[in-house]
Amino acid sequence: MIWALLGLVLAFFFPITIQASESQPAIVVVSQVRGSECCEPGDFSFFERQLAVSQETRIPIYFALRFDALHDTDIITSLRAAQNTYPNLIRPAAFLEITPSLAHRASVLYTAPERDWYKTTYVYPAGYMLAERKALLDTYMAQYHTVFGYYPSLTVGWFVDTYSLNYLHDRYGVSVHELTREQWGTDSYTLSGGPIHYPYEASRQWAFLPGLSGLTIIRQTIEDPLKNYGDMSSSYTSQPNDYGQHTDFAYFQSLLNTALRQPGGQPGFAVLGLETSMPDTYQTEFAHQLRYIASEFPNAIYPDPAKLSDLSHSYPVTVYAGQGAYWITTPSYRLRLLFSQDSVSLTDLRLYHADITDPYKDAEVINAGFYIAPFLLDGSRWYQLKGNWWSRLFQPQYSQGYRTSNEQEVLPTYLAFPKRDSSQEPKVTTASNLVTLSYQTAGRGEITFEFYPEQFILRGLSPSSLRYIDHTGGRIPITETKDSQSYSLSFVPAGDLKYALKGECQTRVCTFTPHLDAKKFEQMRTKFPFLFLPSSIDDRDTNGSLIYPSLTHLIFSRTPARIVVIPRNTAGLPVNLSTPVQFEAGELSLLSDPLALQSHETQFFDFAAPAPGRYPLKIMVPGLSPRTFTFVFAPDCQSAWTKCFSHPVQLFDYVAAVLASKWQSLKH
């Protein structure tokens, strides 16, 4: 039945224009199965519940097994039994997280403290040398083959480098890999600017960008097309553990309906799943999701890897839209149009080139992994803060470029188009190589965008109608140039047409073509690491690093003095210290171990005083200027009121300590 439905949907992929009623949505469900080894172990009962709901709903699930799960007799026995009974529903896959046992079996040194197991530098191959990556992958695949008698066609890893993916594809025949969604900094890895929502064929040079490698990439979860952009709270996706932080199942229903019912006949697509290590509440929610899909989308198809590859080629130009945000993705560019009230703006613009190399081709991830696609506009990262006069007085007005925000919080950098008639919704039509979007202007005219694989055309405006609104604080060398017959946005240091969007115009019709020289961009990535590879900056920033006392006034014998240290580079990212923090503490006793804290992103140092009094303390952080603080330890006047009233200075210190503690509690 699945094959028949799939054949039916593919038959509809090729007409010039497709109506929404003619396309069937495609859904991929991938769950990650962890064994019992450290590193957020999975729960066998949750795995069994996922097996059961797949059989109940008749929805196929790829169960991606971590290395320790391949050694778990209970997991493998249950999986094989279910697979033998329901071979079309239960689909084994590979989960490429690196555990201590996998590293040991591969003879690769594993150095992760248990608290940091999830960080890119430890948990994925990109954190290791090339020979080590190969050994880890070979060891995993050998065990997978021992268990199943064949190699997986689908692998999962939220941040996996191109060398590893090419090796898996060439050596073991892997045809589909699941990367995580667009995010900034979550779990120590950033993926910003890649193809969004729909499957795509990866570049052989950098799998984060589209190309012709033969490997299909799918992105984890359904992203909220409006609110996930720039969000750092991990709240706006279809993952139960994400949306469950702030809303309920109705949000998932809305998100799924958006993903599967796209405008203009664009076939719906969704990726779902849940790790078996997630708590019971989220497992119940995940089962509820699958039952809802079975009930509301009985004609959905569940493509295998071969059909996912077909899907990635069926539409070179895709649109993913919802709540006024329209994402257009092609092999040459990605952009985000935002319709908000009467305004129309381009808030994100990425340029693609299949010859750009992975930044971790010959280097390991240190601390945090960064995949940042070439951009001319990134309103999520470069913005001005909103707020009243009070916040404008005490908050910096421009981001430091190392964190993102969404439009609810900031004024993004963007390209402004003529205002629209907000009483009329934009119109979208799709074809295999074209997406058309049009809207009515406030002056009763019409503006039409025609998006093709290599360029896009704007009809109904002239260059003078476009305005680049710069909220970068001058920190990005982007230049707007326009006259009566042309318009361009250029990354100036790269040179003319090396890194730019160029528009040629005639009679209110402008044809825009992205220009990107791969070698030139790689030079820019090295020259401007702050923009494209922040983790490669290994300096210390005196202004960006945080060194501060938790409280300077304390009550003796109740609370120790605490110094908080967060060393950062000039990109605002945490950095490892080459040597431990040192102190000149005088009579204060250090209660913490600087050597044990050296690798922590945030370091807390506690000190005890021998008696009430004032105690200076000097702190020396490698690469930063020394700092000196004075801690005041007041006597506990609550138990010694007579003494305090006879010593006004001590009474004052006690009152100050009480008020400081109360103020800190209010702030938290």
Predicted confidence (pLDDT) per residue in 242-285, tens digit = 999 889 999 999 999 999 999 998 899 999 999 999 999 999 99
- Answer yes or no: is pLDDT of 6 > 70: no
How large is the average pLDDT for residues 611-630? 92
Please, which pLDDT band fits residue 387 given cuts at 50, 70 and 90? low
Q: Find the helix or strand (DSSP H, E) in which 105 lies.
A: helix 100-105
Band (pLDDT 50/70/90 cuts) for residue 288 is very high
pLDDT score at 543: 60
Task: Retrieve residue 32's tokens.
Answer: 């990650």
Which residues partner with 353 through β-bridges? none
- Prediction pTM value: 0.84
Cβ atoms of 188 and 573 within 8 Å: the answer is: no
Q: What is the pLDDT of residues 317-374, one digit of tens each?
A: 999 999 999 999 999 999 999 999 999 999 999 999 999 999 999 999 987 899 999 9
Please tell me the distance from the alpha carbon of residue 502 to that of residue 487, in angstroms, as a whole number: 6
642-668: pLDDT as tens digits: 778 878 888 888 888 888 888 777 655
With CA atoms as reference, report the closest residue to 596 among 584, 606, 586, 609.
Answer: 606
Give 648's contacts (C-beta < 8 A, 6+ positions apart).
none
The answer on pLDDT for 377 being more than 50 is: yes
> Residues 430, 359: contact at Cβ < 8 Å?
no
Q: CA 495: distance to chain centroid?
A: 30
When pLDDT is cut at 50, 70 and 90, the band that residue 596 belongs to is confident
- Could you tell me what percent of the chain has a pLDDT over 90? 72
Counting other chains too, the contacts that 420-428 makes at CB distance below 8 Å and 24 or more residues apart are 420/339, 420/342, 420/343, 420/344, 421/342, 422/341, 422/342, 426/326, 426/339, 427/264, 428/263, 428/264, 428/266, 428/319, 428/321, 428/326
Q: Is 90 exceeded by the pLDDT of residue 529? A: no
User: 16 pLDDT exceeds 80?
Assistant: no
pLDDT of residue 401: 64
What is the CATH T-level fold of the domain 546-667, as seen in this structure? Immunoglobulin-like (2.60.40)
- Tell me what the mean pLDDT of segment 552-561 comes to: 90
- The answer, yes or no, to whether residue 19 has pLDDT greater than 80, is no
Look at the block and give the residue holding tokens 């959905």: 300
Cα–Cα dist 162/194, whole Å? 14
Segments in 213-274 forming alpha helices (H): 240-243, 249-260
Among candidate residues 284, 305, 302, the one with its CA nearest the CA of residue 294 = 302
- Compute φ and ψ for 164, nearest 5 degrees: -65, -40
367 versus 40: the higher-pLDDT residue is 40
Query: Which residues are paired to 614 by β-bridges?
Result: 632
Please state, rounded to an integer, the average pLDDT across all residues of the chain.
90
Comparison of pLDDT for 261 and 473, the residue scoring more? 261
Domain 2-12+26-314 CATH (choose: 3.40.50.970, 3.40.50.1110, 3.40.50.720, 3.20.20.510): 3.20.20.510
Minimal CA–CA distance to 318: which of 258, 236, 237, 263? 263
Structure confidence at residue 541 as a pLDDT band (50, 70, 90): low
Kindly list the domain boundaries of the chain, sorted by start residue.
2-12+26-314, 346-359+367-536, 546-667
Average pLDDT of span 590-603:
83
Q: How confident is the model at residue 405 (pLDDT cuts 50, 70, 90)?
A: confident
SS3 620: strand
- Number of CB atoms found within 10 A of residue 639's CB: 9
Over residues 190-239, the pLDDT tens digits come to 999 999 999 999 999 999 999 999 999 999 999 999 999 999 889 999 99
What does the pLDDT read at residue 538?
Answer: 64
- Residues 6 or more apart from 69 whose CB is under 8 A from it? 33, 34, 35, 42, 75, 76, 95
What sign does the CA torsion over 385, 387, 388, 390 have? negative
pLDDT reported for residue 283: 98
With a CB cutoff of 8 Å and minimum separation 6, the contacts of 549 are 561, 562, 563, 564, 629, 631
Q: Using the predicted structure, report yes or no on whether residue 473 has a pLDDT greater than 90.
A: no
* Pick from 166, 154, 267: nearest CA to 212: 166
Nearest CA among 244, 632, 181, 265 for reference residue 434: 265
> What pLDDT is stored for residue 284 in this prediction?
98
